[in-house]
A = this chain, B = another copy of it.
Amino acid sequence: MKLTCVGIGPGGGRDMTLRAREALEGAELIVGYSTYVRLVQRDFPHKMYLATGMRGEVDRCRMALEHAAGGEQVAVVCSGDPGVYGMAGLLLELAPEYPGVTIEVIPGVSAANGGAAILGAPLMHDWCSISLSDLMTPWEVIERRLVAAAQADFCIALYNPSSKGRQDYLRRACDVLLKTRSPKTVCGCVRNVGREGEECRTLTLQELRDAQADMLTCVFVGNSQTVVVDGRMVTPRGYRLEGQ
């Protein structure tokens, strides 16, 4: 029995790969967080769905594995890439309890890659991905990673920059970065990547400190070389252009 863990890209639809689409077409049951299930239902309205809310991740994965063990073709859908803050790891951790079920992870365009493309090309050089959610990671670990990323001049994609319970986390993260990085560092925010209401803007690290961002926003902090070219956020890789 095979269970597929399918990345639908940041907003599903046209940013989904052909392999993801084929997996959903072949699925008898599609399991996922309710927001992601809604993104998939537009294109596959006649499938069976099993949707659960946030923080139901372990139960959701167990249900999917149980249905797969029972012989159903099951696809677990994740926004972006299932291997980046998605369900691929949890499914693989639980899989030994369901012998006979093999798991295929189908990669997708992650929110960082999708958001970067909208802003321009902020992640052209070495970069790192840091989630500001401290639901499962102590803030001290997050802070240590922010310090390291700032000191080594990585471009940074910040996931989960804020939520109802932690309105000031983006500000705290910026304060950590500002200890090392210039307040003029070029930054960008993209909201609703690949979805209705998509919007983006560039701003400085100092301005980012006082900006509003919600859970649907992906935040980008440039490295020391990042610039704005014709309104687009670009991190040069280092090609020598004639005449410069």
- Whether, in the assembled complex, A153 has its beta carbon less than 8 Å from a beta carbon of chain B, the answer is yes
**Are the CB atoms of A126 and B117 closer together than 8 Å?**
no
**Are the CB atoms of A124 and B83 closer together than 8 Å?**
yes
Q: How far is the CA of A239 from the CA of B85 in the complex (A)?
A: 11
**Are the CB atoms of A17 and B19 closer together than 8 Å?**
no
Q: How far is the CA of A124 from the CA of B81 in the complex (A)?
A: 10
Stretch at the interface among A25-33, A68-76, A106-114: A106-114
**Are the CB atoms of A128 and B126 closer together than 8 Å?**
yes
Prevailing SS type, chain A contact patch: mixed
- Whether, in the assembled complex, A230 has its beta carbon less than 8 Å from a beta carbon of chain B, the answer is yes
> With A128-B149, A149-B152, A239-B58 given, is the CB distance from A83 to B137 under 8 Å?
no
Among A104-150, those with CB < 8 Å from B are 105-110, 113-114, 116-118, 120-131, 136-137, 141-142, 144-145, 147-149
Q: How far is the CA of A81 from the CA of B108 in the complex (A)?
A: 11
Interface string of A77-90 (1 = CB under 8 A from B): 00001111110111
- Whether, in the assembled complex, A49 has its beta carbon less than 8 Å from a beta carbon of chain B, the answer is no
- Whether, in the assembled complex, A54 has its beta carbon less than 8 Å from a beta carbon of chain B, the answer is no
- Whether, in the assembled complex, A162 has its beta carbon less than 8 Å from a beta carbon of chain B, the answer is no
> With A141-B153, A154-B128 given, is the CB distance from A88 to B117 under 8 Å?
yes
- Whether, in the assembled complex, A196 has its beta carbon less than 8 Å from a beta carbon of chain B, the answer is no
Q: How far is the CA of A234 from the CA of B88 in the complex (A)?
A: 9
**Are the CB atoms of B240 and A93 closer together than 8 Å?**
no
Q: How far is the CA of A81 from the CA of B241 in the complex (A)?
A: 22
5 interchain residue pairs of minimum CB distance: A128-B128, A136-B238, A148-B152, A89-B124, A89-B121
**What are 5 A-B residue pairs whose CB atoms fall within 8 Å in the complex?**
A17-B18, A83-B117, A83-B123, A92-B234, A107-B114
